Chain A
Amino acid sequence: MENRLFGRDIVSISDLSRDDIESIIKQAATLKELGAGPYLSGKLIASCFFEASTRTRLSFEAAVQTLGGRLIGFSDSETTSAKKGEKLSDSIRMIAAYADAILLRHPHEGAARMAAEVAETPVINCGDGANQHPTQTLLDLFSIAECQGRLDGLNIALVGDLKYGRTVHSLALALAHFKPHLHFVAPDALRMPSYIENALADGGVSFEYQDSLEDVVPKVDVLYLTRVQKERLDPTEYMHVASKYVLTVDGLCNAQPHLRVMHPLPRVDEIHPAVDTTEHAYYFEQAKNGLYVRQALLSLVMNESLE
């Protein structure tokens, strides 16, 4: 089968078609089951993290190493020429001349798009400010497909900070390819932005707001929780919200047996630790899947054929 991801930049989840997403999920499942192959043998990958990251950087670098590739790079901008005032576009042109692909995290929104346009080598966006983090969305989609056996027509609840959370924005838009029914549970101050609601409506996705976790748990296949940051709400409202959107074992008593709980991590208080040992908890498996999805993406972008 033709590999349409070969040589491509991975900047935004909206650049990926349903076919692209499915081929990444399929490859991730293969790598998870059979183990990594030498898909990056002889390749040099530049890991350019202009701001700190734990999970994303380590899982990407682990993916490169386990696929037999070699790494150059840095893990914060303090040790780079950016500190001397060098423009990102100049840095990227130089790095592109050294490496076969660039993994880029940068605090400015649109940095990855700009880098992709100036670099001749593929650029993979590892997070550009509050804009995009496509591999987080891909690992979410892979985890949903893995735990539910399908992506089409699922009932999925997105809970918590739906206003500022780029994770839930990208996930909702990517799910639009698979005609889900979405349930939003969020305080009034943190509802989905209208441009996301409009895009979902334009894509024919049905969605509704629910008042509480209690209302939504019996109805859904996937419960996707996110962290509500204290600074987003006034203290009284935060106290109210914090108690209303915490998932406990009791809160899952009306759940369907196949319901799985997901969270992009790090979690703070949204999920009680006792939930971790229930059959519904899937967030640690989800985080683990970050490695397989990043391996899958790198193997597809860097190889014309995977035969």
Chain B
Amino acid sequence: MSDLSGEKLSVEAIRSGTVIDHIPRGRGLRILGRLQLKNSEARITVGLNLPSRNLSAKDLIKIDEWQFTETDAAELALFAPNATVNIVENYKVKRKFTIGMPSEFVNVFWCPNANCVTRHDSVGTRFKVNRTVDGVHLQCHFCERGFSEELFTEQDRLLGLAYMETVV
């Protein structure tokens, strides 16, 4: 609760919803992109480059009237595994948890392999999370290929580009 009260001057408090705190600087907009894909109607306030006790600077996101479940939060694990999720009710933090890294992602990302069956059939996606010395790798349950995390954290941008191409 201490961090949140300390930032009330930087970002307006919310009555009910979710505050994602301790997002590494620069990852806030990526998370915003994903949240907008999931719910384009959500009312969201973003704070960038806020002062932080533990990080040199951090991003913070407040979402009105949407109380995250652990599953909602886990979808953001590749962007900010150590971020804190605060569930707010009546201006008070009702529950608080760290996002953490799940053992797998189900129906969160699309497979970067264009020849994977999930890109051609109405079947959901599943990726197993493997931690290696080089970082996090995701292995597709279907095509069995392994990919580095950047191929997933860049997907919103790529989706955006694909959308732009169809619009143009």
Does B166 belong to the interface (CB within 8 Å)?
A: no
Q: How far does the alpha carbon of A131 sit from the alpha carbon of B118 in the complex, in Å?
A: 14
Q: Given A109-B143, A110-B140, A110-B142, check contact A87 B122 (CB 8 Å).
A: yes
Decide if A109 touches B115 in the complex (CB within 8 Å).
Answer: yes
Q: Which of B117, B122, B132, B143 has the most CB of A within 10 A?
A: B117
Query: Would you call A107 an interface residue if the criterion is a C-beta within 8 Å of the partner chain's C-beta atoms?
Result: yes
Q: Given A107-B115, A109-B115, verify A89-B121 contact (CB < 8 Å).
A: yes
* Total interface residues in chain A, CB < 8 Å: 21
Instruction: List B residues 141-167 near A (Cβ within 8 Å).
Output: 141-146
Q: Which of A107, A114, A195 is B142 in contact with, Cβ under 8 Å?
A: A114
Chain A residues with CB below 8 A from B115, complex form? 107-109, 129-130
Chain B nearest CB: distance from A282 CB in Å?
29
B116 within 8 Å of A by Cβ? yes
CB closest chain-A residue, reference B139: A195
Is B113 part of the contact surface with A, judged by Cβ < 8 Å?
yes
- Is B117's CB under 8 angstroms from A114's CB? yes
Q: Is the CB of A110 within 8 A of B132?
A: no
Say whether A299 faces chain B, with CB atoms less than 8 Å apart. no
Residues of B contacting A109 in the complex (Cβ-Cβ under 8 angstroms): 113, 115-117, 142-145
- Cβ contact of B141, chosen from A106, A113, A128, A130, cutoff 8 A: A113
Q: Could you tell me if A131 and B143 are in contact, using CB atoms closer than 8 angstroms?
A: yes
How many residues of B sit at the interface, in one of the four size bands? 10 to 19
A195 CB contacts on chain B under 8 angstroms: 146
Report if A242 contacts B (CB, 8 A). Answer: no
**How long is the Cα–Cα vector from A128 to B144 in the complex, in angstroms?**
11
A111 sits at the interface (CB 8 A): yes
Complex: A89 Cα to B120 Cα, angstroms: 10
Q: A12-B144, A131-B144 are in contact. Are A110 and B116 (CB under 8 A)?
A: yes
Q: List residues of chain A with CB within 8 A of the CB of B123.
A: 89, 114, 117
B112-139 contact mask (Cβ, 8 Å, vs A): 1 or 0:
0101111111110000000010000000
Q: Give the distance to chain A from B125, nearest Cβ to Cβ, in Å.
A: 10
CB-CB under 8 A from A89, the residues of chain B are 121-123
Contacts of B143 in A (CB 8 A): 109-110, 128-129, 131
Q: Are B146 and A110 in contact (CB under 8 A)?
A: no
Residues of A within 8 A of B121 (CB): 87-89, 108, 114
Which of chain B's residues have a CB closer than 8 A to the CB of A117? 123
Interface positions, chain A 135-181, Cβ under 8 Å from B, are none
- A132 contacts B by Cβ under 8 Å: yes
Complex contacts, A303 vs chain B, CB 8 Å: none
Please, how many angstroms separate the alpha-carbon atoms of A128 and B167 in the complex?
Answer: 34
- Distance in angstroms between the alpha carbons of A94 and B76 in the assembled complex: 38
- Please determine whether B117 and A111 come into contact, CB atoms closer than 8 angstroms: yes
Smallest CB separation, A233 vs chain B (Å): 22
Give me 21 A-to-B residue pairs in the complex whose CB atoms sit less than 8 angstroms apart, sorted by A's number.
A14-B144, A87-B121, A88-B117, A88-B120, A89-B122, A108-B119, A108-B121, A109-B116, A109-B142, A109-B143, A109-B145, A110-B118, A110-B141, A110-B143, A111-B117, A113-B117, A113-B142, A114-B117, A128-B143, A129-B115, A198-B132
Listed from nearest, the 9 A-B pairs whose CB atoms lie closest are: A110-B142, A109-B143, A110-B117, A110-B143, A108-B117, A111-B117, A113-B142, A114-B117, A87-B121
Which of A's residues lie within 8 Å of B, judged by CB?
Answer: 12, 14, 87-89, 106-111, 113-114, 117, 128-132, 195, 198
